[in-house]
Amino acid sequence: MNLNYSGQETIAAPHDAVWKFINDPASIASCMPDVLSSTVIDPHTFDAVVGVAVGPVRGKFTFHVTLEPQPDEKRLNMKISGGGFGSVVDLTAGADLTTTNGVTTLDWTGAADMRGPVATVGGRVLDTQAKRVITTTFANVKARLTPPG
């Protein structure tokens, strides 16, 4: 099953702060929902164990996440692969960064390919869960980067 998403997020923080944050594996792992544990492998890679509950498929999935910052510091690509319980998930995502008056905008896209029991749950259930993960992750990034008040 294939799912595709795109959107735009604004963060009330300068480019340098956002760029540094989204390129830090520990920071990104801490913003993803349902992460039970994470291990930073190197400056652009981490592994995460995630609690998954999609329809009747429940348990722990293990994911390998690679951050691929582009040299111009205006685009970050991300690859996530892994799974559990006979299911496989591969995700590619990217975000273009622009900053105006201290506010950084991320124009992002993502495409996921799922195989195995998790894919048999159905598009509606998967779509709902994927949107929850995306929304929660961006909300956590914003909260960590936006000054209080």
Q: For residue 65, give the CATH number of its domain.
A: 3.30.530.20
Indicate yes or no: pTM above 0.85: yes
Measured between alpha carbons, how far is 61 from 50 in angstroms, rounded to an integer?
A: 5
Residue 129 — very low, low, confident or very high, per pLDDT cuts 50/70/90? Answer: confident
56 pLDDT more than 70: yes
Domain span at residue 16 reads 2-145
| pLDDT higher than 90, residue 87 | no
What is the residue-averaged pLDDT of the chain? 91
Total domain count for the chain? 1
C-alpha to C-alpha distances, 125 to 38, 79, 108, 128, nearest whole angstrom? 26, 23, 22, 5
In the prediction, which pLDDT does 117 show?
Answer: 82
Place of tokens 């900053």: 99
